[in-house]
Amino acid sequence: MSTNNTLAELTSLAISIIGSDRFDDVDTSGEDQITSRVQAAIDATDGDLTGLQKNALRLLLAAYNCDADLCDETGDTIRVATMAEAVESGLASYEGVILVNGRRCYVEG
């Protein structure tokens, strides 16, 4: 994990996608508990989350683990994506196009 990726930011972004009530019984200082809860939300089949929400959570975990790339429209990697970029791309559309510094990009992870 990159030192730029904090557990607090992961928790905050996950809560912004799925709501704080899903974390009521979780110790938010425990990395395994947070990542497990996010993965459980991705894997859930109850239909509470949209496909885009699950996509954003998947990319969020990848970015947290520094396994998500910010790519330009041609597919070339620019750099490792931030968690915020991962969420924005995941929620934008299934193509995930977002603007970063005026440049059309997407997050792959």
Reported as a single tens digit per residue, the pLDDT across 15-52 is 999 999 888 898 888 899 999 999 999 999 888 899 99
Quote the pLDDT of residue 33: 93
Quote the pLDDT of residue 85: 97
Quote the pLDDT of residue 1: 41
Quote the pLDDT of residue 98: 97
Measured CA to CA, the distance from residue 83 to residue 102 in angstroms comes to: 18
Name beta bridge partners: 79: 70
Annotate 36-103 with DSSP letters as a single string: HHHHHHHH--SS-S-HHHHHHHHHHHHHHTT--EEEETTS-EEEEPPHHHHHHHHHH-SS--EEETTE
From the list 31, 5, 16, the residue with the least C-alpha distance to 83 is 5
From the list 77, 67, 78, 1, the residue with the least C-alpha distance to 34 is 1
What confidence tier does 54 reach under pLDDT thresholds 50, 70, 90?
very high
Quote the pLDDT of residue 26: 87
Confidence (pTM): 0.92
Measured on CA atoms in the order 28, 79, 88, 45, is the torsion positive or negative? negative
Name beta bridge partners: 72: 105
Mean pLDDT, the chain, integer: 92
